[in-house]
Amino acid sequence: MRINLINTYLYRILNIDTMKARLNITIEQPLLDQVKKYAAQKNTSVSELVEDYFKVITKPKKQSLVDLLNTLPKPAMDENFNWKEEYYKGKKKKYGL
């Protein structure tokens, strides 16, 4: 009884998020033959190959670090701020030099 409940629970979880839809595509027969051979070599199906490809091309592109840094607000710093002097002041304070 408990195993049946676990199986039912897992079946419901897995099938809720994996609802499949049918898609018809038209490609040339020689290409289809090559794709079927490729899928057989990879131990997968043509449908899985197509689905994986669609996942790759629809995945949001990662934002580059430079783009991310450009979106950050700019700090309000004095133009005459002496970075070198502040660096050494911090080191002196931290290490007592």
**How many domains does the chain contain in total?**
1
In a domain, 34, yes or no: yes
Mean per-residue pLDDT, 9-28: 73
Q: Hey, what are 79's tokens?
A: 């133009």
In a domain, 1, yes or no: no
pLDDT of the residue at 77: 80
44 lies in which domain range? Answer: 21-59
pLDDT of the residue at 70: 87
pLDDT at 40 over 80: yes
Mean per-residue pLDDT, 50-79: 86
In a domain, 11, yes or no: no
In a domain, 2, yes or no: no
Contact status, residue 25 vs residue 50, Cβ threshold 8 Å: yes
- DSSP per-residue codes, 4-47: HHHHHHHHHHHHHH-----------HHHHHHHHHHHHHTT--HH
pLDDT of the residue at 4: 59
